[in-house]
Amino acid sequence: MKRLVVAALLAGVALAASAADRGPVSLCLSPTATVDALESCRTAQRLDLPPLRARNVRLALARALVRAQRYPDAVEAYRDAVRLAPDDAESRLRLGEALLHLEGDPQAAVEELQVALGLDPQSARAYGALGAALHALGQHPEAAAAFAEAARLDPSFFANRPAAEEQAAASKRGEAWPPPPTQPASGL
């Protein structure tokens, strides 16, 4: 038992030391990156990286900017990722989601998501995002069709997405979601 404790302690020290010694790209792309991720990603993006690695750094930078609630900067980082890899469906999907959720521009989101689906027509996530963008534009039949395709491609699509499920149901009914607030009765 004592050996296991010592081994665990040594492994922890080795991990801490290696994290401090890692370069900005590794720190930026680390799934456990914290506050250092933003600065590491900024440093990494200035390096001469191969296009795919540079795109991954931009996507990681965008996620770090979202965590820092710097939404316009995050959208720009997603745009940079698309500029670096214009034929990458994942970059297009993430930009489309950012345009919808961070910038509030469903029309631009639809355009980007349609490009993503042209590159990867089997992406349930892209169809779901397209459904949300079309719904935001009031194009309910088209939104319902996009949500249906997301569910066809991934039967568990709505499992952890209750808001998307509500939006899909509202799209089928031709209604906005969330519903507009009701006005209180006069005299109250």
Q: Is residue 187 part of a domain?
A: no
Contact status, residue 105 vs residue 137, Cβ threshold 8 Å = no
* pLDDT number for residue 186: 56
Give residue 61's domain range. 23-86
pLDDT tens digit string along 151-177? 999 999 999 999 999 999 999 999 998
Residue 6 has pLDDT above 80, yes or no: no
Domain termination site, one of 31, 65, 86: 86
* 173 & 95 share domain: yes
Q: Is residue 102 part of a domain?
A: yes
pTM of the model: 0.78
Range ranked top by mean pLDDT from 3-7, 39-43, 134-138: 134-138
Q: Is residue 188 part of a domain?
A: no
* 98 & 162 share domain: yes
How many Å separate Cα 13 from the centre of its chain? 33
